[in-house]
Amino acid sequence: MGYGSRSEMARLARAGGVVLDGVDLTDVSKRIPVTPDLPSRMQIDGQPLDPPPGLVLMLNKPLGMTCSHKEDGALVYDVLPDRWRRRDPAISTIGRLDKQTSGLLLLTDDGDLLHRVISPRRHVAKVYRAGLARPLAGTEAALFAAGGLVLEGEDKPLAPAALEVLSPTEARLTVTEGRYHMVRRMFAAVGNHVETLHRERVGGLALPENLAPGEWRLLEPGDIDAIFAA
């Protein structure tokens, strides 16, 4: 879970840094069953135990951060506790948002859930709000909804997508695929340019208004169910 090596954790426990049900757990040979309520019963160095494997969280991704473990510059993992970088299995993003896209980003160490969300067979919708360089022509909604648009450099048509016009230069786009820079390339295909892009929703899970850029929160089972409910 990233807290430290076996020897480091043994030293912490012997010093009274591990508490279970209000009692110092100094017997480092004791095995503790991993149950759903364990994080509420155990404290490590004065803080509640992190969730066991199966952790899922949402992040309001700020602009300028990259969804990568290794690239230079600011990474989305920088806003998480340092020890989470050492968890095994590792925490990964569920899909990606490019450096200049903000909004709802999901992360997990649950590989099965990750693949369920991004699987094309699941048709999990992603909703984006796009600010455009030029006014909409008025034909984009019908073109996107019809399906069949082929992006530059590809030969497989896009699935139908829903466009809601918010203003002459702003639109909300709902897609069910996750191709590379897809939203930007869709608007480029109709002669426009995306200047700002923000993801508002994944499936039935919306980004809360009170979650500021750079903030994150753990998801409850009901939140995860909401992803697939829409």
Q: Annotated active-site positions, please?
A: 98
SS3 223: helix
Contact 45, 17 (CB under 8 A): yes
Spatial distance between the Cα atoms of 118 and 94, rounded to a whole number of angstroms: 7
Pairing of strands 216-218, 101-108: unpaired
Spatial distance between the Cα atoms of 144 and 122, rounded to a whole number of angstroms: 20
Contact 211, 201 (CB under 8 A): no
Of 42, 56, 63, 115, the closest CA to residue 84 belongs to 56
Contact 184, 197 (CB under 8 A): yes
| Token pair in block for residue 24 | 């110092």
Spatial distance between the Cα atoms of 67 and 95, rounded to a whole number of angstroms: 9
